[in-house]
Structure 1
Amino acid sequence: MSNPIGILLVNLGTPQAPTKQALRPYLREFLSDKRVIDYPRWLWYPILYGIILNVRPKKSAAAYAAIWTDKGSPLFVYSQNLAQKLQAQLDSTWQQPVKVVLAMRYGQPSIRMGLEELRDADVRRVLLLPMYPQYSVTTVGTIFDEVFDVLKSWEWLPEIRMVHEYYRHPLYGQAVADSIRAHWAEHGEPGEDGKLIYSMHGVPARYTRKGDPYEQQCKETTECLSAELGIG
């Protein structure tokens, strides 16, 4: 039997529980990432450790508690469901064995844990698929960093193919457009004078000035979706 192909799906991450105690280490890991906060450490760490980590965990815990489900964090639950469905789809359509593993950039299951699972399955080739349609150094870039930071200390080094972005893939545009159409079918279309507002997570303008393509790719995403929906 041939070695399985590994697919490492990576999402942002989530705390283990909607509590102040769980939020503090999660936020510490997230906000200590130099790709996310690029200020000098001598300037940023006093703010992070002196103010943010003493104030924000309690506030964030309340926000997480409002959306937490019986199965856990919505982000983890939905990501795990997606990974399981992808595994089932590939098992039924591919002749070569495939191993789909979910990891999180921050929190658990960590990228290290995901790579360990692929290594233990004797995977020789890995498709690294961040779950972000557009590329930003603050999201996809830091995932790539972490993967190779882990691998550089190991003897096991698989062949890796990295997906930078997929916002222009026709199937992505169709899927998002279909979800909008489904909403319209249930709640009604906005009408001739109505507006469809695209809202996406932002990054500081300085990242864009330094070459991060995220803002431009978001603009292109809205253009592609508008074309798919047939609106100007």
Structure 2
Amino acid sequence: MSPSAYILANFGGPRHAEELGSFLTSLLTDRDVTGNFLPDFLHKKLFSFIAKKRVSKVLPQYLSLKNWSPIYQDTENLSQALHGLLKAPVIPFHRYLPATHHTTLEALHTLQPRSIIGVPLFPHFTYAMTGSISRFFTLHAPQYNILWISQFGSHDAFISCMEAHVNSFLDMQGIPEENCCFLFSVHGLPKRMVSQGDPYQKQCEHSFSLLSSRFPKAESILCYQSKFGFGKWLSPLLKTLSYELKSQKPYVLILPFGFVSDHLETLYEIEHEYLPILKSRGYKALRLPAIYNASSWPRTLAQIISSSFPSESELLIK
């Protein structure tokens, strides 16, 4: 039986300067993201302080973007497209935009859906993100039995859509595949989380293996970006590769296949930090826009949703 409603969950991104502080505080005080090594009161106090300090650092980065982070509006637009394709209500949710949470919960209350499928827009599962989203609804909407599509990074429809998206970009740029080194990028994760049982690394590696096999003429490397704080993170880091890459290919294309929508990590971090480094070393470096920009993405996601086997919330929370 088809569900009576869907939740389309994404990271959320600040829409204006006044929202930046609450966005960072909501993100960094989330224990699923920053860990459980401190008592509750110390954790909240420390990471609220860190969030406040980071505002001045990242504000210029957001201001350099044309319209701040597009991830909020992208998610809203995608929910409307999916509503037409799935023939059911699709409620958007923005995890780290607390000002929007009431709208999501109120929509659930109004609809009173009999069954709900949650769709986190993250190709690869991690307790730090998909798990956090599941925990939010367990805490704030326990009356609903929500099943979750926990990952889709190895789904054939996703791989095929990414393949077509890459080929379309290469054709548009007039770049032969055999002249390319592909840096397949996903968000980084502390190694301690992997050692504690998080399946993220294995899923990223499997997804990379499937996707890179579609491009046998290119050189392909899996890498991780957006390291924050101290400790060891999954490697190789995209930042390190930007300085140390040794490829005979003239073109380096960064493919952020772990992100379905462009936001600060792609529009600023890749565009303004890593591409200039690669270009200074003589490479012709480019960034592939996120898969959200592919015209076939809404229909592909609808296909993924309709053919996936969702999981109970309890299985996604550590």
The two structures share one fold, judged by TM-score above 0.5: yes
2:250 corresponds to:
none
Give the conservation status (yes or no) of the 8 Å contact 1:79–1:102. Answer: yes
1:199 corresponds to:
185
Could you say which structure has the greater relative contact order, defined with CA pairs below 8 angstroms and 6 or more residues apart? 1
Cα displacement (A) at 1:111: 4.5
Q: Number of residue pairs matched?
A: 215
2:136 corresponds to:
146
| Alpha-carbon separation, structure 1, partners of 2:23 and 2:59 | 11
Choose 52-61 or 24-33, whichever is displaced more. Answer: 52-61
Q: Which runs of 5+ in 2 are unaligned?
A: 219-318
1:95 corresponds to:
none
Q: Which runs of 5+ in 1 are unaligned?
A: 92-97
Deviations 1:140-190 (A, max 9, x none): 0000100110123xxxx3342211111121111111111111111011335
Cα displacement (A) at 1:194: 3.1
Matches for 1:51-200 after TM superposition, within 5 Å: 52-69=50-67, 73-91=69-87, 98-108=88-98, 110-152=100-142, 157-189=143-175, 191-192=177-178, 194-200=180-186
Give the conservation status (yes or no) of the 8 Å contact 1:14–1:26. Answer: yes
Identity %: 24
Cα displacement (A) at 1:22: 2.3
Cα displacement (A) at 1:108: 4.8
One-letter amino acid of the structure 2 residue matched with residue 196 of structure 1: F
Secondary structure, aligned partner of 2:9: strand
One-letter amino acid of the structure 1 residue matched with residue 73 of structure 2: V
Give the conservation status (yes or no) of the 8 Å contact 1:104–1:111. Answer: yes
| CA RMSD after TM alignment | 2.3
Give the conservation status (yes or no) of the 8 Å contact 2:8–2:120. Answer: yes
Cα distance change on mapping 1:208 and 1:4 into 2, 3 Å: closer
| Alpha-carbon separation, structure 2, partners of 1:104 and 1:30 | 11
| Alpha-carbon separation, structure 1, partners of 2:127 and 2:3 | 30
One-letter amino acid of the structure 2 residue matched with residue 100 of structure 1: V
TM-score (norm: length of structure 1): 0.83
| Alpha-carbon separation, structure 2, partners of 1:64 and 1:77 | 15
1:34 corresponds to:
31
Cα displacement (A) at 1:57: 0.7
Cα distance change on mapping 1:49 and 1:179 into 2, 3 Å: same
| Alpha-carbon separation, structure 1, partners of 2:149 and 2:57 | 35
TM-score (norm: length of structure 2): 0.62
Give the conservation status (yes or no) of the 8 Å contact 1:128–1:160. Answer: yes
Cα displacement (A) at 1:4: 7.2
Give the conservation status (yes or no) of the 8 Å contact 1:129–1:163. Answer: yes
Secondary structure, aligned partner of 2:184: coil
Deviations 1:75-134 (A, max 9, x none): 01111111111112223xxxxxx1111011111564553232023023111001111011
| Alpha-carbon separation, structure 1, partners of 2:96 and 2:47 | 17
Cα distance change on mapping 1:49 and 1:106 into 2, 3 Å: closer
Secondary structure, aligned partner of 1:192: helix
One-letter amino acid of the structure 1 residue matched with residue 56 of structure 2: K
